[in-house]
């Protein structure tokens, strides 16, 4: 049906990234504002990148995609922001996410595993955020739009969130998530993945 997500993953070159590559990039990783990792490269390599960033007080944003049921528990403790969608949340916790309440349960479970701040993206429903500081789940709604193609929406959200963490670190987290929702909702109104991502000049300027 229109607007629903179907994705085929062809990892290809991603799986060639190794620890030696990380060592060569360590200077860049340790001086970055934010490091984003996910699971389309070897999970052990992703985890090492998070650890390197963490050790240098670089903010870490982790998106467990594609999700693994037996994710190394160190991913939880080395992620400043742990961001997953409903499908990934269920694979990680065994809890099917059909609504906000379920997302809150997932959030609590992930905090117990050592996450500091968890964001569960809920498609058209926006997001649920929960953190060690604010352990009451909070809903951050998304604006209503007509979805044409939702592939890449999660990456659009994660990319936007990384941008705000890097360039607007003083913004409250809820505000970063609200703005990232806006950018992801622009991306679902165009076809394709990369091709659907808006340029800064084409976005409402109150996002910046």
Give the chain as a 3 state SS string: CCCCCCCCCCCHHHHHCCHHHHHHCHHHHHHCCEEEECCCCCHHHHHHHHHHHHHCCCEEEECCCCCCCCCCCHHHHCCCEEEEEHHHHHHHHCCCCCCHHHHHHHHHHHHHCCCCEEEEECHHHCEEEEECCCCCCEEECCCCCCCCCCCCHHHHHHHHHHHHHHHCCCCCHHHHHHHHHHHHHHHCCCCCCHHHCCCHHHCCHHHC
The answer to whether residue 155 is catalytic is yes
Sorting pLDDT into bands at 50, 70 and 90, what band is 175? very high
Mean pLDDT of 105-129: 96
Looking at domain 15-207, its CATH superfamily turns out to be Ribokinase (3.40.1190.20)
pLDDT attached to residue 1: 45
CA distances from 173 to 49, 121, 146, 192 (A): 23, 14, 26, 28
pLDDT attached to residue 5: 57
Q: Name the residue ranges covered by the structural domains of the chain.
A: 15-207
Sorting pLDDT into bands at 50, 70 and 90, what band is 11? low
Average model confidence (pLDDT) across the chain: 92
What span, in angstroms and rounded, lies between the C-alpha atoms of 184 and 197?
8
pLDDT tens digits along 31-88: 999 999 999 999 999 999 999 999 999 999 999 999 999 999 999 999 999 999 999 9
pLDDT tens digits along 100-111: 999 999 999 999
Active-site position among 72, 149, 155, 202: 155
pLDDT attached to residue 198: 85
Nearest Cα residue to 141 out of 173, 113, 179: 179
| pTM recorded for the entire structure | 0.91
């Amino acid at each position: 049906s229109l607007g629903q997500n179907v994705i085929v993953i062809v990892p290809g070159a991603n799986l060639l990234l190794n620890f030696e590559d990380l060592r060569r990039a360590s200077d860049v990783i340790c001086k970055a504002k934010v490091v984003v990792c996910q699971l389309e490269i070897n999970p052990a390599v992703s985890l090492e990148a998070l650890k390197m960033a963490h050790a240098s007080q670089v903010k870490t944003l982790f998106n467990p995609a594609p999700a693994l049921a037996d994710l190394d528990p160190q991913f939880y403790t080395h992620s400043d922001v742990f961001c997953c969608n409903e499908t990934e949340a269920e694979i990680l916790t065994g809890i099917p996410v059909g609504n906000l309440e379920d997302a809150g349960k997932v959030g609590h479970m992930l905090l117990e595993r050592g996450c500091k701040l968890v964001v569960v993206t809920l498609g058209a429903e926006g997001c649920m955020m929960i953190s060690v500081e604010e352990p009451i789940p909070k809903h951050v709604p998304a604006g209503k739009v007509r979805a044409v193609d939702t592939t890449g929406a999660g990456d659009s959200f994660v990319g936007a969130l990384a941008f705000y963490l890097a360039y607007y670190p003083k913004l409250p987290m809820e505000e970063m998530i609200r703005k990232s929702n806006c950018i992801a909702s622009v991306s679902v109104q165009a076809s394709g993945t990369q091709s659907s991502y808006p340029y800064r000049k084409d976005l409402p300027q109150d996002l910046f």
